[in-house]
Structure 1
Amino acid sequence: MPPSRPATKIQARNQATIMEAALEVFSANGFRGATVDQIAEAAGLSKPNLLYYFPSKEAMHNALLAQLLDTWLDPLRALDPAGEPLAELLGYVNRKLEMSRDFPRESRLFANEIVQGAPRIHAALTGDLKTLVDDKAGVIAGWARAGRIAPVHPHHLIFSIWSLTQHYADFDVQVRAVLGDEDPFDGAAEFLETLYRRLLTPSP
């Protein structure tokens, strides 16, 4: 276990190196396929040295997931109830797409955990995540009732945004195989903005 006293610069650097290596290995192999030996090799550390900081594969995975879930929810937290509804929702779509572009490994790590039944973050999904989603769904429903956006099921709207943006990270190989040399993110932002603008703009 890492010492309880403040980490030295070397210890902080090693912890960051281990987290980066763990992210690479877990996102590529999933929790079950990853090993401590693989992470130690990717980190350039001996296995005993790595285990000094994190006593198990589970400890590293849990640390990554806790950090990731908080980051992953930030774009939804930024949805401003006092803002202009269409701009707020299109901004959320764009922020989620940017996360898929900039943090593809983190997205795949989260997807792998969910596909396996979320054994390590189920409490967070039914707790903090559900609370936040329900709160923002209430905001969206209020906008719809006021006629500021078209009628829409708020939870399914959020689910669709997750699906359509995170797809570019979670299925990156398939997307790039189909598009060839085209950068998938070049056209994705424009397409998604058009899609959601048409869906959410109220009828005259």
Structure 2
Amino acid sequence: NVTEISLATVRVQNWDNTFTTIPTYSLISESFQNWRGMQESPGRRIKRAVYIKQNSVKFMTSENLEELKKVALIKKYITSRQEEIDKFNTENNIDKSLPLNGRNQTNLGIFRKYVDSYLNEHSAIHKELYIIVRHQAPTDKGIPIEILCFSRDKRWENFEYITADIFDHVIAAIPYFGLQLFESPSGDDITKLYGFQQEN
């Protein structure tokens, strides 16, 4: 909120009740962020990514699919998707002795669908605004899976609780799909590795 305007400066009250004095020319020569759009919109944006280890992504076997059908949110999706894939592979005489041939489901694809379904069922997420779960370009830290959605509650404290609740669940769900989160090695990891090498 702009609280004071003079010839040389503009005084702004920030969201955390601190004040910033900005040279007037900066409002023309530089970019700035206006939060009013968020305040007036029906939801507040959540945009964050988790990083998946690339070598944990794999094609799904029939046994894997049967296990994941126990997950209520995606049981119907897995069944209908696999019927579509089986039909395509049969009609085109695909040799499925090698999983690489034809069409297949992957654990990462099913995980993305799970997160999308989870967000669409979450009571704190605004269903009339964007809900997107997407791949981004792979990096040296893994494959970013970005979640973009909007919380109904825009108050800062509640917004942070909602965001934490969503990512607590997403992070805990990842191992159920045979996927792994990327995490840079810590000092303990290096110590354990070094100790193992020394013993051998």
Structure having the higher helix fraction is: 1
> TM-score higher than 0.5 here?
no
TM-score w.r.t. structure 2 length? 0.25
Structure having the higher strand fraction is: 2
Q: Which has the larger radius of gyration?
A: 2
TM-score w.r.t. structure 1 length? 0.25
